[in-house]
Structure 1
Amino acid sequence: MAKDKKIHINQTFKNIIIIIVIAVVFFFVGKVWPSGEDPTVMTSDLLSQQIQSISELATVEYNYTNMGKFENQATFYGWKVPFTTKSFIISYDGKIKAGIDMSVVEVKISGKTIHVKVPQAKILSHEIDEKSIEVFDETKNIFNQISITDYNQFAIDQKDKMESNVKEKGLLKEAQEKAQSTIETFVKSLDLKDEYKIEITELQ
């Protein structure tokens, strides 16, 4: 009876040892292969590629409705010819996008600091919605008729004026700030292996 009891105790002791060994193995496996995705080991090239992919998020869009008047009079050796004035008024909707060229952003990781150099913001696109165009007070002057060229040149002139206006209102400054803020937020959201300080400066 004592012998059976001794065998039972020895078997229990062995089972405890086995459980402890298994627990230790799982502990070290967990250290080597933690649950979930591994933190990203970041490199300058990898981070640069990821930053360039957020170009649309780093832009500012300005939608507007504008009305402008075109007027032209025929001239002869610098003299305006009477009764040759042509004019029209146009109303239209437009959209301006401003931001930075993400393809030239420079990224360098030095120690625990991520250095990001961004270009100055600029107007990336400017479109006029052709379906929104309305023409008012169009003259019918047989001596100086309105042509397609007049409409096209007027559209170009209006675009230049609107771009100058939005620049004066601080659209490029807003685009610059948003781009830098977006980049900083994006980097902070990455599951990086280490903590980094982010420094963003403008390219000279």
Structure 2
Amino acid sequence: MKKMVVRFLTKILVVLGICGILFFCLQVAGSRLPQKILDRIPGYRKTAKLSTEVVSGQLANASELVTQKLTMEGFSTYEDEGIPILSQGNFVMTYQSQVTAGIDASKISFRIDHEKRIIHVHLPQAEILSATVDPGTISYHGESIAIFNFNNKEDANKAQKLAESDARKAARASGILDNADRYARSLVKGLLQGVAEGYQIEFDPQK
């Protein structure tokens, strides 16, 4: 009788041990198995399927992601098309400018692989969004004397547009777009992590 009880208890312990080992293995290797297989295993915790509406709604919270701001000291040389000495206005202007770069969130696309639990995100390339010159910081140097030049205000407006164009070029040369691309990924990943529990976020190569 005692032997039968011992054998019975032994079998129970063996079964419990096997179940424990299987449960442990599932927890360790669960991320490597397709979710549709895991969901069919009795007792395994099922993960809710992420909807495209949830992801779209999260990305819609940011209509434009300004990811980088750069303040620079710059100078530009202005020459109009007049006749030297008589009507041509020439000068150098120094100024302070601010350039912003980032991505347009409305151009973000994505697809969800529910089987592998991956969100594939495609981001547009970062671009210069604005370049402004602070009028209060503009100084003019080396102004030439033009006898018949009556377009000083027009020259100043053209010079400011030239300065803004030069500021954009200088910002690109500084690497602001590469920094904006990297930071945009970080921002988007942060937006999605709050609603994408159990999913990995991967970014497709930019074209």
Kept in 1: contact 2:64–2:104 (CA 8 A): no
RMSD between aligned residues: 2.7
Greater mean deviation of Cα atoms: 39-48 or 157-166: 39-48
**Residue 132 to residue 88, structure 1, CA distance change in 2 (3 Å):** same
Kept in 2: contact 1:48–1:106 (CA 8 A): no
Paired position in structure 2 for 1:69: 77
Greater mean deviation of Cα atoms: 167-176 or 58-67: 58-67
Kept in 2: contact 1:66–1:91 (CA 8 A): yes
SS at match of 1:163: helix
Give the aligned length.
159
Is 1:127 matched up with 2:132?
Answer: yes
Q: Mind listing any 5+ residue stretches in structure 1 that lack a counterpart?
A: 1-38, 76-80
TM-score normalised by length of structure 2: 0.65
Greater mean deviation of Cα atoms: 139-148 or 194-203: 139-148
**Residue 179 to residue 59, structure 1, CA distance change in 2 (3 Å):** same
Kept in 2: contact 1:86–1:145 (CA 8 A): no
| Aligned partner letter, 2:120 | H
TM-score normalised by length of structure 1: 0.66
State the identity as a percent. Answer: 25
Kept in 1: contact 2:58–2:192 (CA 8 A): no
Kept in 1: contact 2:67–2:180 (CA 8 A): yes
SS at match of 1:150: helix
Q: CA deviation at 1:103?
A: 0.9
| Aligned partner letter, 1:115 | H
Q: Mind listing any 5+ residue stretches in structure 2 that lack a counterpart?
A: 1-46
Kept in 2: contact 1:58–1:182 (CA 8 A): no
> Hey, what's the Cα distance between the residues in 2 that align with 1:153 and 1:58?
27
Is 1:161 matched up with 2:166?
Answer: yes
> Given the alignment, which residue of 162, 165, 172 partners 2:177?
172
> Hey, what's the Cα distance between the residues in 2 that align with 1:65 and 1:95?
9
SS at match of 2:136: strand
Bigger Rg, structure 1 or 2: 1
Q: Please show how residues 186-197 of structure 1 align to structure 2 within 5 Å.
A: 186-188=191-193, 190-192=194-196, 194-197=197-200
